Chain A
Amino acid sequence: QQQVKQSPQSLIVQKGGISIINCAYENTAFDYFPWYQQFPGKGPALLIAIRPDVSEKKEGRFTISFNKSAKQFSLHIMDSQPGDSATYFCAAYKGGNQFYFGTGTSLTVIP
């Protein structure tokens, strides 16, 4: 059973546009929600993360929006650049060293 559902599977955005990736979860015990960015041939790298006591976190062009009541969180990439083209994974954590990953979104930013 997929604990974290991620959409869309792939996304194509024009340079300068906004990229939005959505994730949803069911288990209310999750208390940490990271996003990872993975370039081809590389390992996933932590991009930004949020805890459920805040509704939004921003770091540069990357923002996480968190809706606790809807059990959803999303990644917004403002002013998307070709260098942002990568696969993005959301994840959720509830302790016990167990992370649950979404299925990934392949983002392509067209120049």
Chain B
Amino acid sequence: DTAVSQTPKYLVTQMGNDKSIKCEQNLGHDTMYWYKQDSKKFLKIMFSYNNKELIINETVPNRFSPKSPDKAHLNLHINSLELGDSAVYFCASGGGNNEQYFGPGTRLTVT
């Protein structure tokens, strides 16, 4: 069983569109994250949720909106996509011992 899963794996869309990425974890963790990895492979945290509550909201444009329907799911909705949003987005979950488990990533390409 995949511990942290994301869909879709690839997403190609045009500027101005709205898209969503879904994430699910079956590890029973209370904390989930969204990270953005740019073309230089730099990993930057975007959001962190603990038990469905937003804990961290880094300086991310408000076009990005996370939604956590329950503690096993953390979805990312992006409005009015821009070229600069092209990146790989990783979902992760974390347990009480500070370990993080990352999903396989969603490669978003905005044309």
Contacts and interface: CB of A to CB of B under 8 A. Distances in A.
A46 B45 contact: no
A98 B56 contact: yes
Contact of B42 (A42, A97, A103): A103
B56 A104 contact: no
Contact of B94 (A45, A87, A97, A101): A97
Nearest to B92: A43
Contact of A44 (B31, B40, B90): B90
B56 A43 contact: no
Contacts of B43: 44, 89, 101, 104
Chain B interface residue count: which class? 20 to 34
Contacts, number: 54
Contact of B102 (A32, A41, A43): A43
Contact of B105 (A42, A87, A96): A42
B41 to A, nearest CB: 5
Contact of A98 (B45, B99, B102): B45
Contacts of B94: 97
Nearest to B91: A43
Contacts of A98: 45, 48, 56
Max chain B C-beta neighbours (<10 A), residue from A43, A89, A98, A99: A43
B52 to A, nearest CB: 13
Given A43-B92, A43-B105, A44-B43, 15 more contacts: A32-B98, A34-B98, A34-B99, A43-B103, A44-B102, A45-B102, A89-B43, A97-B31, A97-B33, A97-B48, A97-B56, A99-B33, A103-B40, A103-B41, A104-B43
Interface of B: 4, 31, 33, 40-45, 48, 50, 55-56, 90, 92, 94, 98-105
6 contacts: A34-B98, A43-B92, A49-B99, A98-B56, A99-B100, A103-B40
Interface of A: 32, 34, 36, 38, 41-46, 49, 87, 89, 93, 96-99, 101, 103-104, 106
